[in-house]
Structure 1
Amino acid sequence: MVNAVITARLDYGNCLLYGVSKALLDRIQKVQNTAARLVTRSSKREHITPILADLHWLPVSFRPQYKILTYVYQSLHGLAPSYIKDLIMEYKPTRSLRSESTSRLVVPKIRTKTYGERRLGWAAAFLWNDLPNDIKQKRIFISESFLQVYLGFIILFVLLSLASLSLSTLPIFQRKLTICEARDLLLYNHKYEDDIENFFAKVKCDSSAEDVLRSIYLKYGNYTDDETFQEDIKEKEASGMGKEYINEMKLKWKLKKISLPNKSARLKVFDLIDLIVLVVFAVDLILRLVTCPSIASYYKSALNVIDTVVLICGILGYVLEKVLINFTYDRGDLDILVYLQQLRVFRLIRVVQNVAAIKVLAFCFKTNIKEILILMLFLFVGVNIFANMLFFVEPKNISSIPQAWWWGIITMTTVGYGDLYPVTFSGRIIGSLCAVSGVIVLALIIPIFVNNFLALYELACLLQKEKDRKPKTKTLKIKVEPSKF
């Protein structure tokens, strides 16, 4: 609201403030100081300079200079309108001089000092020539289309990451383990006989574990116990069967007793998507840190901290999936590293944090924090009272007071999942009073927050429309009659 009502007014046409008296600028500076103290809720005794520095607000005396230099920069790079370009002329010497590479402007001649130095052409040339050469030669402008492409690119990969993690838990997007994957999981931290391990080492990894086991069961399914199998082995040895054939039958009988893990794995395309997403966000974070003026200031934002933690957890989870076999196919405590990727949704908050509705919503939460605390207090008192009453009235249905708390929360907030409900007549009376009191509390507090939000949002929309409104250009129509001779 301060940016929309006060700061926008200070910046509107402030190029005219260049060169005015210090007394007039001090009067406008008091308005900015009051707005800064209002935003930061600082007292009048605190010094205003560090407050303005924390808000990244230029003092009033420097804001016209910044806007004039912005016009010059846009004009030199072909981004300013023609009526501003005509007022700014680059200095081009008639012969080769060292000043040719300093990107200087031609300072026009003026007749009066008081008003002549306030002209845009003279002020722009004077301020631009006074800048260091390394600043004037930098091209730091980023087009709006590039920013839109970047934001769309980041949003795409955020949604891709969330979709990959969520869809990979569906059975239709999972596959059965191959025989090699089942072998690795079976032999992980387990020791079997050498002939069994040699058999699994020679199998083809493109076949599934179910197909291999099915072939063994079909071939040796008529053997129900060891005695039947041993009798058949003795008969085959007596009939002169080869030793290799007998050993193969013994090996297959051992394999029949081994139960391969019946687990599923997600499709390999999700692993590829996760790898691409991690690479993109890692490069994005590195570029942010390299171009950031202060890393300490960068990590003062909670969104930046969450973004970095999620990226580190994602990299660790991906590495552990490739190193630890049981982490890949079994669920455990380390799965939190993978499911923390859902916190990447906070990146979307960074994208929409400059939307008017989001700003108004955050401001309403700050201004109505007392009403929200009162609502939480009423809910806390009501839940405790009705939960304790229900616990003593219905000892068979409610096993503990914390369980009754859960019933009180879902009843007063009018959710009512139906997992807990009173059975006796007195319990139903308590439940009715609890539901009615919850509706009354919500109906008294929530409209205050909603009305404030709607009023502030309508004001923000009106200010945005006024800011975006283009001035109407009037065309002068002149009717020229042919001269009479």
Structure 2
Amino acid sequence: TAESVREPSGIIEAICIGWFTAECIVRFIVSKNKCEFVRRPLNIIDLLAITPYYISVLMTVFTGENSQLQRAGVTLRVLRMMRIFWVIKLARHFIGLQTLGLTLKRCYREMVMLLVFICVAMAIFSALSQLLENGLDLGTKNKDYATCWWVIISMTTVGYGDMCPITVPGRILGGICVVSGIVLLALPITFIYHSFVQCYHELKFRSARYSRSLSAEFLN
């Protein structure tokens, strides 16, 4: 709205959007292959990060600050949530996010294996908890979903404390669930960690080599 634009946060947002828009336009103009530029994932993310601001401004201008704008509030909130793509834009300049993306790309099998481990353990321990621990303090009628939630929280050692077993067999099962979660999570995470370190050094070496090549071209 017009009032939000006058606020400091609105002014900062407008400046950032203007900067991002100018950057995208300049990069599009100087790019040799326009079709390849449009198909690049990071450029698509840039477009998704910029577009919601202009759409929300246009909706505010055409609908006005009245009941029509309130009816469009859900759409505006969804568009504003797309501003999370601003964070992904940092991957272009931040080696840490590049390392994370490359690690997830190379370790997708380990990630799937981790997900399978968690799902299998969740099915086993949730069934056992309902069998051995009828007195589980769930506080809800949907015991199937609640026991799955309890298993996930226990295996990841988060332990919110919103539900807990109150009988001896249930507490023994809870201890086994916690220890099993530590073991199951440690196996694939070790491979992911080593891949992350390898990707980090690889990208760092590539960045240093690129900087040296630019320096050599500048000196020549």
TM-score normalised by length of structure 1: 0.36
Other-structure match for 2:82: 340
Say whether 1:370 aligns with 2:109: yes
Question: CA 1:373–1:266 in structure 2 vs 1: closer, same or farther (change >3 Å)?
Answer: same
Deviation, structure 1 residue 382? 0.3
Which protein is bigger by CA-based radius of gyration?
1
Q: Secondary structure at the match of 2:39?
A: coil
Question: 2:46, 2:209 → 1: CA distance?
Answer: 36
Q: Is the 8 A contact 2:52 2:80 kept in 1?
A: yes
Other-structure match for 1:94: none
Other-structure match for 2:137: 397
AA aligned to 2:188 is I
Q: Is the 8 A contact 1:307 1:347 kept in 2?
A: yes
Q: Is the 8 A contact 2:136 2:166 kept in 1?
A: no
Question: 2:194, 2:123 → 1: CA distance?
Answer: 30
Q: Pick from 304, 307, 316: which aligns with 2:43?
A: 304
Other-structure match for 2:171: 428
Say whether 1:287 aligns with 2:3: no
Q: Is the 8 A contact 2:45 2:89 kept in 1?
A: no
Say whether 1:412 aligns with 2:155: yes
AA aligned to 1:422 is P
Deviation, structure 1 residue 384? 1.3
Q: Is the 8 A contact 1:320 1:327 kept in 2?
A: no
Question: CA 1:280–1:378 in structure 2 vs 1: closer, same or farther (change >3 Å)?
Answer: same
Q: Secondary structure at the match of 2:93?
A: helix
Deviation, structure 1 residue 305? 1.4
Question: 1:324, 1:467 → 2: CA distance?
Answer: 51
Question: 2:199, 2:58 → 1: CA distance?
Answer: 48
Say whether 1:445 aligns with 2:194: no
1:40-99 deviations in Å (ceiling 9; x for gaps): xxxxxxxxxxxxxxxxxxxxxxxxxxxxxxxxxxxxxxxxxxxxxxxxxxxxxxxxxxxx
Structure 2 unaligned regions, length at least 5: 213-220
Other-structure match for 2:91: 349
Other-structure match for 1:325: 66
AA aligned to 1:280 is W
Say whether 1:278 aligns with 2:17: yes
AA aligned to 2:120 is V
- Where in structure 2 are the equivalents of 1:454-469 lying within 5 Å? 454=197, 457=200
Structure 1 unaligned regions, length at least 5: 1-180, 182-263, 470-485
What percentage of residue pairs aligned between the two structures are identical?
A: 25
Question: 1:428, 1:345 → 2: CA distance?
Answer: 42
Other-structure match for 1:386: 125
1:251-310 deviations in Å (ceiling 9; x for gaps): xxxxxxxxxxxxx97973333333333333222222233333333312322222122122
Q: Secondary structure at the match of 2:59?
A: helix
AA aligned to 1:445 is P
Deviation, structure 1 residue 371? 2.7
Indicate the structure with greater helix content. 2
Q: Is the 8 A contact 1:413 1:438 kept in 2?
A: yes
Q: Is the 8 A contact 2:92 2:98 kept in 1?
A: no
Deviation, structure 1 residue 448? 2.7
Deviation, structure 1 residue 434? 1.1
AA aligned to 1:418 is G
Question: 1:409, 1:432 → 2: CA distance?
Answer: 13
Deviation, structure 1 residue 362? 4.5
Deviation, structure 1 residue 435? 0.8
Question: CA 1:305–1:361 in structure 2 vs 1: closer, same or farther (change >3 Å)?
Answer: closer
Question: CA 1:362–1:436 in structure 2 vs 1: closer, same or farther (change >3 Å)?
Answer: same
1:298-324 deviations in Å (ceiling 9; x for gaps): 232222212212211111123334523
Question: How many equivalent pairs are there?
Answer: 204
Q: Is the 8 A contact 2:114 2:185 kept in 1?
A: yes
